Structure 1
Amino acid sequence: MESKRQQKFAGVLQEELATIFQREGAEYLPNTLVTITKVRVSPDLAVAKVYLSFLNTNETSISIATVNSHAGEIRYKLGARIRHQVRVVPSLTFFLDDTNIYVEHMDKIFDKISRERKEQPDSEDESE
């Protein structure tokens, strides 16, 4: 469980990274909207895991690899923004947030179950 300090720091990182991606994200991923869905920070605040979601792209694995290849540059830009608030700028690792993919998958399963129930005749009606 994250401490209040970790949660506050993660919130600051999420805000600042969102601003960086909003203003300069087109340099890394043109025509792609990047959303920072969650940031997890280690107890010593030295490592941050950043979870991203992408819109307007079919190649999420390439997108996450591209962002990870620019992690040092993004960390530098983040450091310039938060240098007066922290002692050490954390190292950044980016991951794909697949929550939306999971939700879509579950929706398809529930739709399939719903259609199957509608197609089956009620067994109670036949016994009467």
Structure 2
Amino acid sequence: MESKRQQKVASLLQQELAAVFQRDLPHLFPGLAPGISTVRVSPDLGIARVYLSLLLVGDGQAMLEQVRDSSKEIRLALAKRIRQQLRVVPALSFFLDDSAAYAAHMDQVFGGLTIPAASTDAPTEEDESPKPTPPRPRLFADEDE
């Protein structure tokens, strides 16, 4: 579980990285900028794991390699934006977020299932009658019922 400080830093990094991709470094990613789905920060705030959502990009792995190759430039642009909030800019590790693709796959799997219809048999009167309670055990010999 992340501490509140980790969550705040992760949120700040997510917002600022999105701004870096869209405003500061659009020339690195012509056409489409990668979306940032999640940022996870280590407890010492030294490493940030950035999960990129590359749904609209044709070849996600190639775009991920391009982002990893320009990670120094991205970190420098990020440092310029957050220098007032953090002392040290965390090292950035980029990963592909495939949760949307996984969700689409699961939708396809669930859509292909054939579920038989439930039986429409009405319950009989025997099933609705209350069951008799078993007799209570006697603990003492002089106990009356």
Q: Which amino acid aligns with 2:19?
A: T
Q: Quick one: structure 1 residues 25 and 109, their matched pair in 2 at CA, closer, same or farther if it must change by over 3 Å?
A: farther
Question: Hey, what does 1:100 align to over in structure 2?
Answer: 100
Return the TM-score normalized by structure 1.
0.86
* Distance apart, 1:54 and its partner CA: 1.6
Q: SS of 2:112's equivalent?
A: helix
CA distance, structure 2, for counterparts of residue 123 and residue 71 of structure 1: 56
Q: Which amino acid aligns with 2:99?
A: T
* Distance apart, 1:124 and its partner CA: 5.8
Question: Hey, what does 1:66 align to over in structure 2?
Answer: 66
* Distance apart, 1:123 and its partner CA: 9.5
Q: Quick one: structure 1 residues 123 and 85, their matched pair in 2 at CA, closer, same or farther if it must change by over 3 Å?
A: closer
CA distance, structure 1, for counterparts of residue 60 and residue 14 of structure 2: 20
Q: SS of 1:103's equivalent?
A: helix
CA distance, structure 2, for counterparts of residue 40 and residue 101 of structure 1: 20
Structure holding more strand per residue:
1
Q: Is this contact kept in 2: 1:40–1:50, CA < 8 A?
A: yes
Question: Hey, what does 1:86 align to over in structure 2?
Answer: 86
Sequence identity of aligned pairs in percent?
47
Q: Is this contact kept in 1: 2:20–2:77, CA < 8 A?
A: yes
Question: Hey, what does 1:50 align to over in structure 2?
Answer: 50
Q: Which runs of 5+ in 2 are unaligned?
A: 121-145
Cα distance per residue 1:47-104 (max 9 Å; x no partner) = 0000011243221000111001100000000000111111101110110110110000
CA distance, structure 1, for counterparts of residue 68 and residue 15 of structure 2: 19
Larger radius of gyration: 2
Q: Quick one: structure 1 residues 25 and 60, their matched pair in 2 at CA, closer, same or farther if it must change by over 3 Å?
A: farther
1:1-128 to 2 correspondence within 5 Å?
1-113=1-113, 116-117=114-115
List structure 1 segments (4+ residues) > 6 angstroms apart after TM superposition: none
Q: Which runs of 5+ in 1 are unaligned?
A: none
Q: Quick one: structure 1 residues 24 and 123, their matched pair in 2 at CA, closer, same or farther if it must change by over 3 Å?
A: same
Structure holding more helix per residue:
1
